[in-house]
Amino acid sequence: MVDTSTFDLRRYLRGSGQSRGVWIALAALIIFGLVRYDNFGGAYNIVSFLNYNSMFVAISIGMCFVIMTGGIDLSVGFVAAFSSVCAAYLSPYGIEVALPGGILAGMAFGAINAFVIIIMRVPPFIATLATMLAAKGGALVISGAETISVDWGTNFTKFGMENAFGILPWSIVAAVILAIAAWFILEQTSLGRTVLAIGGGDEASNLMGLKVNRARTFVYVFSGGCAGLAGVILASAFGAGQPLEGIGWELSAIAAVVVGGTLLTGGLGSIPATVAGALLLGLVFNILNFENGRGTISLSAYWQMVIRGGFLFAVILLQTRVVGTKQAKG
């Protein structure tokens, strides 16, 4: 539990060394890829990798805020899918309408989660599971259970397919801006301190006079908005709103957050480490694809998931060893 008399945000972000494992593993994989594969460090691979994984970075950032309060959001995958369909329908009006429309669709589901959890006092696991099913059903209903093609005559697809200022795709720029904003909120505002304090215990937070319900509302609405952004990127980058594409995305987001050192019990978290966790999990697939291309191995997508799970387990063990070593020295 958080010591309310000496609460220090930076100490809870970095003091435990919980996130070191993800940086070690990410650096090791990058070095391995650069040494083993000729085109691994090429501009095409780097930009394609970052562009695709910007969706997972977005939902992982939102999930990190939720988990830091000790909650969970199982709805993000299908909320992203629902938002992608909404963005596809709004694409004839351009990115100026489709982008905020998709994000607002996600935020609406986040607001529902917040209402059910805070006002109706339903446990987050049950509440967001119900919202996940509602988002899935809603996406299938409004799309007719089919992918919805975007309007290629507007600037909507530029968001996911064209570069900003000739450097990086707009989707990557959006993910970077989101990460910076989330980092600032967490480290530099009272809202961020409240989010971490809630994870340490509601009773202690109330005794401190913190606005617990406001912070909880923020994290679920924010998580929904992040999922909405991921949905807009999905529709723009792939040219269609896809009602079933979000299957398993919530598990990827949770995995990225946990790999990044955020405690599932709350009270500890880091946005940079969460981004690193999302990129690390994506990098595993990227390297496996390079191996398949070399003809050294031939792994189906199912075996790649098994290897990814094993790698996730290894990183968590590494984190545990790092934390345990630090505590023993302390």
Residue type, 266: G
So what's the pLDDT on residue 9? 42
So what's the pLDDT on residue 246? 87
What is the Cα–Cα distance from 51 to 33, expressed in whole angstroms? 18
Contacts of 208 (CB under 8 A, 6+ apart): 4, 7, 197
Angle CA 283–306–270, to nearest 5: 45
So what's the pLDDT on residue 315? 65
CB contact at 8 A, 224 and 63: no
So what's the pLDDT on residue 2? 41
So what's the pLDDT on residue 327? 53
CA-based Rg of the chain, rounded to a whole angstrom?
20
What is the Cα–Cα distance from 317 to 323, expressed in whole angstroms? 10
Domains of the chain listed by start with CATH number: 4-323 (1.10.3470)
What is the Cα–Cα distance from 112 to 299, expressed in whole angstroms? 41
**Other C-beta atoms lying within 10 Å of the C-beta of residue 152:** 9
So what's the pLDDT on residue 10? 46
Q: Tell me the pairing of strands 240-241 and 168-169.
A: unpaired
pTM of the model: 0.88
Nearest Cα neighbor of 170 from 266, 95, 69, 63 is 95
pLDDT, mean of each 10-residue run, the chain (330 residues):
42 51 89 92 91 95 94 96 97 95 97 96 95 96 94 92 83 95 94 87 68 92 97 95 90 89 83 94 88 70 72 68 56
Residue 258 token pair = 């946990």
Beta bridge partners of 164: 168
Residue 184 token pair = 């600032």
What is the Cα–Cα distance from 81 to 225, expressed in whole angstroms? 13
What is the DSSP code string of 146-202? Answer: S-EE--TTSSTTHHHHSEETTTEEHHHHHHHHHHHHHHHHHHHSHHHHHHHHHHH-H
Tokens 């570069």 correspond to what residue? Answer: 163
Tokens 């060394």 correspond to what residue? Answer: 17
Tokens 């109706």 correspond to what residue? Answer: 120
**Other C-beta atoms lying within 10 Å of the C-beta of residue 66:** 29
